[in-house]
Amino acid sequence: MTLRIKHMAATALALSLTIGLGGCATGGGAMSNSSLSSVNQPVVQSSNYTLDLASNSSGLPVQEQARLADWFATLDLGFGDRISIDDATASAAVREDVAGVASRFSLLLEEGAPITVGYLDPGNVRVVVSRSTAHVPGCPNWGARANGNLGNNTSPGFGCAVNGNYAAMIADPQHLLEGARGNGQTTVMTSTKAIETYREAPATGSEGLAASSTQSGS
């Protein structure tokens, strides 16, 4: 079985482009944006990488699990990457084996898989790694002249620093589009557990003092 890595064409997804700001260039490159909303917004690009593996009724053979682990290591798999399985049989054994390999990289499997290019041979499963990146196009922008802003507009580079830092530092760029999903646990609930454990613990000496001999041995 040959290794197949397919890099789908990156699709740019603009973030928060509903502010409806004008983009006409005036006065030496200054934008006609008189509000404090930035026209320089992060753009998220997604790519899918695929690997086809042979499977059987027991799941993935040991050699295929080893190939999958090597592939994950080659991709430098990490937080923010999404792993899914394209398996027509929806085998629980295959999913368990793939999840076991993914757990070595501290990642969980996603439900469902994106549509990928190429035919999947019978008896094979396709593991898909979806990876996103974020950047702010056109930044930095120093096109405005110091004396050319007669309309009291914001600089064309306004927002580049803040939004550029967001795009560079965010661990999962998809959170810029859809936010992070909660698991029902809050900081208050987590801290309350520690407080309750402290309060419900028996007080020191509540069960009496341990008996000890006062006679010294010779």
Residues composing the chain: 218
Q: Would the pLDDT of 84 be above 80?
A: yes
State the DSSP code for 59: B
Q: Cα separation of 205 and 171, whole Å?
A: 48
CB 55 within 8 A of CB 124: yes
CB 1 within 8 A of CB 68: no
User: What pLDDT is stored for residue 202 in this prediction?
Assistant: 82
Mean pLDDT score of the chain: 78
Mean pLDDT of 87-110: 91
- Top-confidence residue, 3 or 149: 149
Q: Which has the closest alpha carbon to 7: 49, 46, 51?
A: 49
Q: Would the pLDDT of 57 be above 50?
A: yes
User: What pLDDT is stored for residue 145 in this prediction?
Assistant: 62
Q: Cα separation of 100 and 111, whole Å?
A: 16
Q: What is the tens place of the pLDDT at every residue in 180-214?
A: 776 665 556 667 777 888 888 887 777 776 666 66
Q: Cα separation of 82 and 96, whole Å?
A: 16
User: What pLDDT is stored for residue 12 in this prediction?
Assistant: 38
Q: Helix-strand-coil percent breakdown of the chain, rounded to 5?
A: 25, 20, 55
Which of 47-56, 116-125, 183-192 is least confident?
A: 183-192
User: What pLDDT is stored for residue 53 in this prediction?
Assistant: 93
Q: Would the pLDDT of 137 be above 50?
A: yes
Q: What angle do CA 89, 91, 97 make, to 5 degrees?
A: 140
Q: Would the pLDDT of 119 be above 90?
A: no
User: How far from each other are the two terminal CA atoms of the chain, in whole angstroms?
Assistant: 79
Confidence of residue 147 (pLDDT cuts 50, 70, 90): low
Task: List the domain boundaries for the chain.
Answer: 11-178
Mean pLDDT of 107-130: 89
Tokens of 215: 């006679």
Quick check: helix, strand or coil at residue 36? coil
Confidence of residue 155 (pLDDT cuts 50, 70, 90): confident
Q: Would the pLDDT of 129 be above 60?
A: yes
Mean pLDDT of 61-65: 94
Peptide bond into 42 cis (omega under 30): no
Q: Could you tell me if residue 205 is left (phi over 0), alpha (psi between -120 and 50 degrees) or otherwise beta?
A: left
User: What pLDDT is stored for residue 62 in this prediction?
Assistant: 94
Q: Cα separation of 138 and 40, whole Å?
A: 8
Furthest C-alpha separation in the chain:
101
